Amino acid sequence: MGTIQAIRGTRDIFPPEISYWHRIEQVARQVLNRACYQEIRTPIFEQTSLFERGIGEATDVVGKEMYSFRDRGDRSLTLRPEGTAGVVRAYIENNLYAVGGVQRLWYQGPMFRYERPQAGRQRQFHQIGVEVLGSADPRADVEVMALATDILKNLGLQHLHLALNSVGNGEDRQRYREALVAYLTPYRAELDPDSQERLDRNPLRILDSKDKKTQAIVQAAPSILDYLGEDSRRHFDQVQQLLTDLDIAYELTPSLVRGLDYYTHTAFEIQSDDLGAQATVCGGGRYDGLVQSLGGPETRAVGWAIGLERLVILLQQLGPSNPARPDFYLISKGEKAEAKASQLAQQLRHQGFSVELDLSGSAFSKQFKRADRLRARACLVLGEAEAETDTVQLKWLASKEQETCNLKELLSQGEQLRQRLAELN
């Protein structure tokens, strides 16, 4: 029998790459906690109808990319292709709106879309996202954009820019749709096949086409900003002014419509000049009608999602990761010494130190080489002589200092050891 391999479009994440993921999650959690956002965790699969109604049956996500299946109860289920619809379902089902006020939520986890795998885009991919439910205030739009900017900058990313647009409300989009179809219809034969199909069912998505010939045609298309009503224009003007007040640079991008039907008013992307064709790191916007369309009360909302695979690529370009270094690498040889080493490792871990216990049984020289590769700060060495006398050799690898310590005395010197480790850091 042949070996079993990972499914195409999925991948294993090993050390040291995983340290980039940990860093992203840590920075995001810190930034979002400071802004009083609460984490929510929703199921990986939901009823298919949630995404059909929420995202829109005319979208590529629903029409071409969802992983849907029937379970043993003959129910149609779908692996979540994005995070917002599940959060909104949880918000409605658990009556979070009854609490009153604004709900600030964030999530992280895997999503699934049947797309062509490439760098930064997998069929199982990961996102961190935020949702602010219960506010129509333009300050909510700007708050989420500012938080995304803070996360990316705190990670050390540069060469980023914020692309901003408004897709207005339903009436605005209907007027614009009619104008766009009128402009594009004479060019139907020159559009790429996907855009020809979208012209009848979802013409705004043609603005997002990656086909160069189609892009050239839409450059002269009407701008949605010319079709915004008074309320939509006022909201968008306030968003722009607030961004200016926060000194967040942005670029008006009338062709930015995003790929999901639920967006209203503000739509935005944060893009990187260092990612090539897959430039978008973060995307989001306002979705004032989604909660009501899924059976909840009228609720204004705004949010975004950051793609972690693309973000990891950017961090890798900045330089190597710094995986966690053990405080102590515990070396031992001989049956009695190895038993004592296991006890010592556990005791030090209980005191809050990071300790790696060598389990190889190799010669001392090979164990020391592994400690060096792991960049351990110190080695604790137990041989048969130490095991007999209840002592341990403590060797600080940077300075090569070495001393013999009584095991009980070593364990009683936690604060001194912590201080020495802090000095090394």
Domain locations along the chain: 18-169+229-318, 328-424
In the prediction, which pLDDT does 159 show? 87
Tell me if domain 18-169+229-318 and domain 328-424 are identical in fold: no
Where do we find the tokens 């009848």?
A: 200
Q: Looking at the domain 328-424, which fold is it?
A: Rossmann fold (3.40.50)
In the prediction, which pLDDT does 107 show? 98
Inter-residue contact 137 to 314 (CB < 8 Å): no
- The residues that bridge with 68 in the sheet, in sequence order, are 78
Q: Report which of 373, 352, 164 is spatially closest to residue 248, judged by C-alpha positions.
A: 164
The letter for the amino acid at 90 is A
User: Backbone dihedral region of 74: left (phi > 0), alpha (psi from -120 to 50 degrees) or beta?
Assistant: left
Q: How many residues does the chain have?
A: 425
SS3 for 278? Answer: coil
Query: CA 27, CA 131: separation in Å to the nearest integer?
Result: 18
SS3 for 213? Answer: helix
Inter-residue contact 358 to 331 (CB < 8 Å): yes
Report DSSP state, residue 59.
S
In the prediction, which pLDDT does 61 show? 86
Backbone angles phi, psi at 174, to 5 degrees: -65, -45
Query: CA 286, CA 299: separation in Å to the nearest integer?
Result: 11
Q: Taking each helix axis as running N to C, give the angle between helix 18-34 and helix 138-154, from 0 to 180 degrees, rounded to the nearest 10.
A: 140
Query: CA 204, CA 215: separation in Å to the nearest integer?
Result: 13
16 upstream amide cis, omega within 30 of 0: yes
In the prediction, which pLDDT does 259 show? 61
Written as six digits, the tokens of 34 are: 């400071």
* CA-based radius of gyration for the chain: 28
18-169+229-318: which CATH architecture?
Answer: 2-Layer Sandwich (3.30)
Inter-residue contact 186 to 221 (CB < 8 Å): no
The letter for the amino acid at 60 is D
Inter-residue contact 195 to 211 (CB < 8 Å): yes
Written as tens digits, the pLDDT of the chain (425 aa) is 789 999 999 999 998 899 999 999 999 999 999 999 999 999 999 999 999 998 887 777 888 899 999 999 999 999 999 999 999 999 999 999 998 889 999 999 999 999 999 888 899 999 999 999 999 999 999 999 999 999 999 999 988 999 999 999 989 989 999 999 999 999 898 999 889 888 888 888 888 888 889 989 988 899 999 999 999 999 999 999 999 999 999 999 998 887 667 889 999 999 988 776 558 899 999 999 999 999 999 999 999 999 999 999 999 988 887 778 899 999 999 999 999 999 999 999 999 999 999 999 999 999 999 999 999 999 999 999 999 999 999 999 989 999 999 999 999 999 999 999 988 87
In the prediction, which pLDDT does 307 show? 95
Inter-residue contact 299 to 84 (CB < 8 Å): no
Q: Report which of 45, 81, 47 is spatially closest to residue 63, judged by C-alpha positions.
A: 81
Inter-residue contact 28 to 108 (CB < 8 Å): yes
Query: Could you tell me the strand order of the sheet in which 402-406 lies?
Result: 355-357, 328-332, 378-382, 391-396, 402-406
